[in-house]
Amino acid sequence: MTEEIYTQTETLPSKSVPSKKKDPVIFLDNVSISYPVFGGIFQRQIGEVKAVQNVTLEIYPGETLGLVGESGCGKTTIGKGILGLVPIKTGQIFYRNSRIDEGLNQKVRQKVQMVFQDPDASLNPRMKIVDIIGEPLRNLMGMTKKLEMRREVLNLLEQVSLKREHLDRYPHEFSGGQKQRIVIARALACNPDIIVLDEPTSALDVSVQSQILNLLEDLQQEFDLAYLFITHDLSVIHHVGSNVAVMYLGHIVEKGNISDIFYNPKHPYSQALLSARPAVNQEEKQKQIILKGEVPSPVNPPSGCPFHPRCFARTDDMPCIEEFPSMIKLSDTHSVACHLYTEE
């Protein structure tokens, strides 16, 4: 580790790991989600896409958990599973003490919100902004008076730096960054505890991305929000995250805080993923690890550790092909699912 990196990790105390004594806001216990595949005559179910397999995750109040991994590894499905948008196959999801995997009631819906990837598509083009942001207020808080709703929506708009004249406009009259602000305002409407951010910046320009990230950070400090930040942009997570979970083919392969994952990655996949990150400084540049082969299909995942066909650290005497490695705790914050490591 160079000295520069060391100082970087030192400047993170404001968003350091929250103490584990608190109860998690969201707790995923061994959750699996799969999508059916239909085909053949009469559209029978001929298989299933195992999008998420045996995922265990905790999100603590006030923390930002980054969920990283390449496309199609099941990041978004976890987010949708928490919101009850896709059915859970096995396992349980808890919001504080209540189970939410069989449907969210209105109280929980207020507290668990989501920001979708494409701000353009997630706003109803025929509704005015005041109605769009008023939608959760009306449905979840039972607010019916128009004037009351306008006042509340104006408050929310001001929190995301929009103005009064935007109240009665339609979504197509806004730029991408403004639309994402509107989506964030809608998610904030019911004072949530946790917001699932599904690639909130990937559809935006780089300059707008940083504005949105700063806004999200400000809101987190103001309202003590927890974020589940789903992204494939590692530098974004490095900027806003406090904890990171790395996913590969529906499994979580490594969990840890920022310094664990970014400066001391243990799992071969995390090492490869991080080495693919573009570096600005010459010193930070590492030797790129090029993985062989393609990502296997989640319809028919490989046996044992899903990463074993592409793993560069595997030797023939390791049991990777036969059994899936269990989560091994390396330190208080850092755990990895790999046969290379053993519990101390």
Query: What phi-psi label fits residue 195: left (phi over 0), alpha (psi between -120 and 50 degrees) or beta?
Result: beta
CB of 297 to another protein, least distance (A): 23
CB of 3 to another protein, least distance (A): 45
Q: Which is nearer to another protein, 167 or 318 (CB)?
A: 167
Q: What is the CA radius of gyration of the chain?
A: 21
DSSP alpha helices (H): ranges in 247-296?
Answer: 258-263, 268-275
CB of 161 to another protein, least distance (A): 17
Contact string 118-157 vs another protein (x = CB under 8 A): x--xxxxxxx-------xx--xx-----xx--xx--x---
Site for another protein in 86-115 (CB under 8 A): 106, 109-110, 113-114
| Strand ranges inside the chain, DSSP E | 26-39, 44-59, 64-68, 90-95, 98-99, 112-115, 194-198, 226-230, 243-248, 251-257, 328-329, 335-336
CB of 158 to another protein, least distance (A): 11
| Strand ranges inside 190-262, DSSP E | 194-198, 226-230, 243-248, 251-257
Q: Which is nearer to another protein, 80 or 266 (CB)?
A: 80
DSSP SS3 for 272 = helix
Instruction: Report the alpha-carbon distance of residue 2 to residue 7 in Å, rounded.
Output: 9
Instruction: Report the alpha-carbon distance of residue 81 to residue 29 in Å, rounded.
Output: 12
- Binding of another protein at residue 186 (CB under 8 A)? yes
CB of 92 to another protein, least distance (A): 20
Q: Which is nearer to another protein, 115 or 274 (CB)?
A: 115
Interacting residues toward another protein by CB under 8 A: 80, 83-85, 106, 109-110, 113-114, 116-118, 121-127, 135-136, 139-140, 146-147, 150-151, 154, 164-165, 167-168, 170, 172, 183, 186-187, 189
